[in-house]
Amino acid sequence: QVKISDLEGKAIGLYFSANWYPPCRNFNKVLIGVYEQLKSNGSNFEIVFVSSDEDLSAFNSYRESMPWLSIPFSDLETKKALNRKFEVEGIPYLIILQPDGSTLHDGVELIYRYGIEAFPFTEEKLEELRREERMKHESQTLTNLLTNPGRDYLLDQTMTRKVPVDSMIGKTVGLYFSAQWCFPCAKFTPKLISIYHKIKQSLEGKGGGEDFEIVFVSNDRDQSSFDSYYGTMPWLALPFGDPIIRTLAKYFDVQGIPCLIIIGPGGKTVTKQGRNLINLYQENAYPFTCAKLELLEKEMEEEAKRLPRSNYHAGHRHELTLVSEGNGGGPFICCDCDEQGSGWAYQCLGCGYEVHPRCMR
């Protein structure tokens, strides 16, 4: 037992989490690494686990992995009071309580984005980190993104030939964060392969020196999984386990896969929403710039004028109504292809069933 008075004067992380929820278990590993580094540095920081586990054995099992403190599982009133006080609506959730009484609610995002550098979690420190981040993005080039002191190349499909990173300068490049074990990745990768070939063929037909390439940034768990998965892909890859992979995920704040980041010919980030744009516009999304997206949105508006106001879909028994973001639509997951959509959709106003207009059948 640790007395509450022993925590006076420390920055405290209230960590709302549960063993049964995979995103909590994933974040837990990251948080443990940061916590142990801070403790070894003698930092004045402590974490208190507030459990959402369903029973004592799950709580005990989860807590075994944690090097910090916890509210006793039996103290239901305190756990409920903390959830109410801080309006906790989802987990994992990390609130930072400062000795001066100030509170930070976005601890999970800060740990994912900045790691140990976020300490002591003050507004001054975070503004300094944001300023450094802006400067990095302003000076970003393809070379400083994808190389490290011991490697200036990428692997091609043979996994033996080394392609110099500098040979990619001037191209539009997609950084594809993905892994074989990820079910959404397994669904999206074949689509991306098809779109990749169509974009390449289109650019070859046009001439003019434009080019498009993708670099696989692997989240696979071992070399054999990487080899097997990358063997299905027609583009380049960072070597498995390269330290740059973790740096890139942190730099671009990648919190879920698959994720497709688009880098323009000048080496600057064009969009982090490459996956959504591929789902919405297929090969027409290239080169993913704001100007191209504005054009595509106008074309979608014109096309929507020619669509029937209501229709039936083979997968749903009710009539579907054509909606847009302005009249009840918005971001959604298509019930036909399971991919994200936005803008126009056919929606069941009674039960929320929603599909892309192109998926109507």
Query: For residue 79, what is the enclosing H or E element?
Result: helix 76-85
Among 298, 320, 346, where does a domain finish? 298
pLDDT digits (tens, 9 = 90+) for 248-286: 998 898 888 999 999 999 999 999 999 988 987 889 899
Report the percent of the chain where pLDDT is more than 70. 98
CATH number for the domain spanning 128: value is 3.40.30.10
Radius of gyration over alpha carbons of the chain, in Å? 24
Assess whether 352 and 205 both reside in one domain: no
Assess whether 55 and 179 both reside in one domain: no
Report the pLDDT value the prediction gives residue 70, as an integer from 0 to 100.
Answer: 95
Q: With b meaning 16 or more CB within 10 Å and e meaning fewer, what string describes 175-187? A: bbbbbbebeebee
DSSP state for residue 70 in the 8-state scheme? E
Average pLDDT rounded to a whole number, residues 312-331 = 81
Residue 89 to residue 226: CA distance in whole angstroms: 36
Assess whether 328 and 270 both reside in one domain: no
Report the pLDDT value the prediction gives residue 332, as an integer from 0 to 100.
Answer: 81
Residue 298 pLDDT level (bands cut at 50, 70, 90)? confident
pLDDT digits (tens, 9 = 90+) for 183-219: 989 999 999 999 999 999 999 877 767 899 999 999 9
Assess whether 234 and 126 both reside in one domain: no
Q: Is the pLDDT of residue 10 over 80?
A: yes
CB 318 within 8 Å of CB 311: no
pLDDT digits (tens, 9 = 90+) for 53-107: 889 999 999 999 999 999 999 999 999 999 999 998 889 999 999 998 889 888 9
DSSP state for residue 167 in the 8-state scheme? G
CB 69 within 8 Å of CB 2: yes
Residue 315 pLDDT level (bands cut at 50, 70, 90)? confident
Report the pLDDT value the prediction gives residue 76, as an integer from 0 to 100.
Answer: 93
| Residue listed under structure tokens 């959830």 | 83
Using DSSP's 3-state secondary structure scheme, residue 13 falls into strand
Assess whether 156 and 291 both reside in one domain: yes
Residue 358 pLDDT level (bands cut at 50, 70, 90)? confident
Q: Structural domain tally of the chain?
A: 3
Assess whether 350 and 294 both reside in one domain: no
Phi, psi of 259 (to 5 degrees): -140, 135
Assess whether 34 and 100 both reside in one domain: yes
Report the pLDDT value the prediction gives residue 66, as an integer from 0 to 100.
Answer: 94
Assess whether 349 and 279 both reside in one domain: no
Q: Average pLDDT, whole number, for the chain?
A: 89
| Paired residues of 212 in beta bridges | 172
Using DSSP's 3-state secondary structure scheme, residue 85 falls into helix
Q: Is the pLDDT of residue 322 over 80?
A: yes
Average pLDDT rounded to a whole number, residues 153-179 = 93
pLDDT digits (tens, 9 = 90+) for 13-44: 999 999 898 889 889 998 999 999 999 988 88
Residue 149 pLDDT level (bands cut at 50, 70, 90)? confident
pLDDT digits (tens, 9 = 90+) for 114-145: 888 888 888 889 899 888 888 888 889 999 89
Assess whether 179 and 64 both reside in one domain: no
CB 246 within 8 Å of CB 254: no
Report the pLDDT value the prediction gives residue 47, as an integer from 0 to 100.
Answer: 95
Does the pTM surpass 0.75? The reply is: no
Report the pLDDT value the prediction gives residue 151, as an integer from 0 to 100.
Answer: 92
CB 296 within 8 Å of CB 356: no
Residue 328 pLDDT level (bands cut at 50, 70, 90)? low
Report the pLDDT value the prediction gives residue 218, as an integer from 0 to 100.
Answer: 96
Report the pLDDT value the prediction gives residue 83, as an integer from 0 to 100.
Answer: 92
Q: Is the pLDDT of residue 351 over 90?
A: no
Assess whether 291 and 311 both reside in one domain: no
Cα(first)–Cα(last) distance of the chain, in Å?
62
Count H helices, E strands: the chain?
A: 11, 18
Assess whether 97 and 9 both reside in one domain: yes
Residue 330 pLDDT level (bands cut at 50, 70, 90)? low
Q: Identify the domain containing residue 349 by its residue range.
A: 307-359
